[in-house]
């Protein structure tokens, strides 16, 4: 059964394997992380943990806790640039775990954590136009499109927002 876990130091080996195994799959819809990311993964992981400890970001992994899975990472779900009650949601799911509703269920879980554990009131998200799976996840989990824009990658995309109320649990 997949379990959402806050990022820890001991996730590093499984997280690196997740990124390497899915690199080509991810690059089809989001900018590639580049060779430098993989060459300096340990330092990057340590930096992420420091950002998390400072409260700037909240990083999570979706770990497979089934017997024999050995903590395999099935996805990353992050709340970035936390400030003034707001954060940006970012996520990616392993190719072999797509189409099972894991992204939708995990975004719903993270939305609840954002409101109840992290005190956030607004989540933002962005996706490229050629990523209908991500658009569907955002729509199913209550995000509302805010308009088109160029993303950091320079690719056209759409921004989404969700205002978290007192009861962020119910789906759309």
Nearest Cα to 90, choosing from 79, 106, 104, 74? 79
Bridge-based pairing state of the strands 156-163 and 144-150: antiparallel
Helix (H) / strand (E) containing 24? helix 23-27
* Residue 90: both structure tokens together: 């970012």
> CA 120, CA 161: separation in Å to the nearest integer?
13
Q: What is the pTM of this model?
A: 0.91
Q: Which tens digits make up the pLDDT trace of 91-138?
A: 999 999 999 999 999 999 999 999 999 999 999 999 988 889 999 999
pLDDT digits (tens, 9 = 90+) for 46-86: 999 999 999 999 999 999 998 888 889 999 999 999 999 99
The domains of the chain are located at 2-163
CATH 3.40.630.30 for domain 2-163, yes or no, is: yes
Instruction: Tell me how crowded residue 99 is: count the other CB atoms within 10 A of its CB.
Output: 10
């Amino acid at each position: 059964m997949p379990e959402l876990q806050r990022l820890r130091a001991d996730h590093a080996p499984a997280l690196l394997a997740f990124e390497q195994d899915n690199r080509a799959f991810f690059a089809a819809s989001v900018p590639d992380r580049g060779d430098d990311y993989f060459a300096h993964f340990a330092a990057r992981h340590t930096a992420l943990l420091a950002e998390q400890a400072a409260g700037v970001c909240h990083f999570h992994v979706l770990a497979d806790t089934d017997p024999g899975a050995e903590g395999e990472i099935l996805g990353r779900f992050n709340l970035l640039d936390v400030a003034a009650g707001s954060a940006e949601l970012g996520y990616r799911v392993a190719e072999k775990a797509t189409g099972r509703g894991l992204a939708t269920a995990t975004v719903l879980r993270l939305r609840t954590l954002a409101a109840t554990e992290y005190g956030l009131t607004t989540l933002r998200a962005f996706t490229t136009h050629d990523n209908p799976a991500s658009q569907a996840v955002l729509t199913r989990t209550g995000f509302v499109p805010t308009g088109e824009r160029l993303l950091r990658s320079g690719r056209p995309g759409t921004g989404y927002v969700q205002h978290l109320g007192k009861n962020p649990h119910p789906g759309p």
